[in-house]
């Protein structure tokens, strides 16, 4: 039995999220079926961070155990053959220690959220970004984002059905930058609450459009009440960006 770590890229617009479910195609389902076709084995994939319907990934990580004696390159190429025509790709397959766990060994996870801020609607990026037609002012958004850095109760940005035992999280990074009409938000933490990133983004956009002041944002955050926060940003702008493990952490 060999444990393999997969680094994955996928377009979430064609999936009902990561996790297998009774109805609808998911990333986990497509990959597990590809493994079965390739090896004849029924496996369970464990992932670093589950993504919702419409959410993308550029470096998602998962692991599974395989009895078949083969190479990492063959695993990668075979899975990429069998997942077609679904828009998911195995970038890399690696043999790892049987103690490795894609979820529990992760030191941090990072996400990118992309907004296109213009009057005209989107054509090319319709499934890859949130179209915000009202002009955004970055300075107040950046000021509000700084409030969230550190260890806090993030209940204001916690979805109603979040199953985490505690709303307390430590946010390591929340950077906002613009390149022309494209506004990019990068955030990093050891773990996130359900819909936390999208709820933070939606509320920051309230500030950027001038609907809220930074003080309004601060008061909403301090309330620790989801009903006091802003809207949930749509899924298509969100991408699971990266996950860090002890062996690739420069500080480890």
| 204 and 155 within one domain | yes
10, 97 contact by CB (below 8 A): no
120-124, 128-132, 161-165, 171-175: which has the minimum mean pLDDT? 161-165
What's the CA gap between 132 and 205, in Å, rounded? 9
β-bridge pairing 130-132 and 150-153: unpaired
pLDDT for position 251: 44
Class of residue 83 by CB neighbours under 10 A (exposed 0-12, middle 13-18, buried 19+) = buried
User: H-type helices in the chain, by residue range?
Assistant: 27-39, 72-82, 138-148, 196-208, 214-223
Mean pLDDT of 169-183: 98
Residue 235 per-residue DSSP state: G
* CATH code of 46's domain: 3.30.70.580
Q: Provide the mean pLDDT of the chain.
A: 95
Mean pLDDT confidence for 158-171: 91
Model pLDDT, residue 252: 40
Catalytic residue numbers read: 52
Q: Does residue 222 surpass a pLDDT of 80?
A: yes
Least confident of 63-67, 87-91, 96-100, 161-165: 161-165
Q: Does 163 or 95 have the greater pLDDT score?
A: 95
Residue 162 has pLDDT above 90, yes or no: no
Beta strands in 149-252 (DSSP E): 150-153, 168-179, 182-189, 238-244
Provide the pLDDT for residue 14: 87
Residues of the chain above pLDDT 90, percent: 93
The average pLDDT across 11-30 equals: 94
pLDDT at 160: 84
Alpha-carbon distance values, 22 to 88, 91, 138, 234 (Å): 20, 28, 42, 23
Residue 203 corresponds to which tokens in the numbers above? 């509320």
Q: How confident is the model at residue 228 (pLDDT cuts 50, 70, 90)?
A: very high
236 touches 130 (CB < 8 A): yes
pLDDT category at 22 given cuts 50, 70, 90 is: confident
pLDDT band at 247 (very low <50, low <70, confident <90, very high): confident
Same-domain pairing of 128 and 40: no
The residue range of the domain holding 91 is: 2-96
Inform me whether the pLDDT recorded for 250 exceeds 50: no
Q: Of 37, 66, 96, which residue constitutes the final position of a domain?
A: 96
pLDDT at 248 over 70: no
Q: Does the structure show a pLDDT above 70 at 249?
A: no
pTM for this entry: 0.94
Assess if residue 251 is contained within a domain.
no
Residues 182-210, mean pLDDT to the nearest whole number: 97
pLDDT average, residue stretch 11-38:
95
For the chain, what's the residue count? 252
- Residue 252 placed within a domain: no
Average pLDDT over residues 223-243: 97
pLDDT band at 214 (very low <50, low <70, confident <90, very high): very high
Greatest Cα pair distance in the chain: 60
Say whether both 92 and 112 belong to one domain.
Answer: no
pLDDT tens figures, 109-118: 999 999 999 9
* 140 and 28 within one domain: no
Q: Which of 59, 74, 96 is the last residue of a domain?
A: 96
- 93 vs 1, 53, 71, 79, 170, CA distance in Å? 15, 24, 9, 10, 31
Same domain, 128 and 51: no
Clarify whether residues 176 and 153 are in a common domain.
Answer: yes
């Amino acid at each position: 039995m060999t444990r393999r770590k997969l680094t994955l890229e996928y377009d979430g617009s064609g999936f009902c999220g990561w996790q297998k479910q009774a109805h609808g195609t998911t990333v986990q389902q497509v990959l597990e079926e590809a493994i079965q076709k390739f090896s004849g084995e029924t496996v369970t994939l464990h992932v670093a961070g589950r993504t919702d319907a419409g959410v993308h990934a550029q470096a998602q990580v998962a692991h599974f155990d395989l009895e078949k004696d083969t190479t990492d390159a063959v695993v990668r190429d075979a899975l990429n053959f069998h997942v077609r025509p679904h828009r998911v790709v195995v970038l890399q397959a690696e043999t790892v220690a049987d103690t490795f766990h894609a979820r529990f060994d992760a030191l941090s996870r990072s996400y990118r959220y992309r907004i296109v801020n213009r009057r005209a609607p989107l054509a090319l990026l319709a499934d890859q970004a949130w179209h915000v037609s009202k002009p955004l002012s970055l300075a107040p958004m950046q000021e509000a984002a700084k409030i969230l850095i550190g260890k806090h109760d993030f209940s204001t940005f916690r979805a109603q059905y979040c199953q985490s035992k505690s709303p307390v999280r430590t946010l390591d990074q929340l950077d906002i930058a613009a390149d022309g009409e494209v506004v990019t938000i990068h955030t990093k933490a050891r773990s996130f609450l359900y819909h936390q990133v999208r709820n933070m983004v939606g509320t920051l956009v309230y500030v950027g459009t001038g609907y809220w002041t930074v003080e309004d944002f601060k008061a909403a955050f301090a309330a620790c009440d989801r009903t006091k926060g802003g809207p949930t940003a749509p899924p298509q702008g969100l991408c699971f960006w990266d996950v860090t493990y002890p062996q690739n952490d420069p500080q480890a």
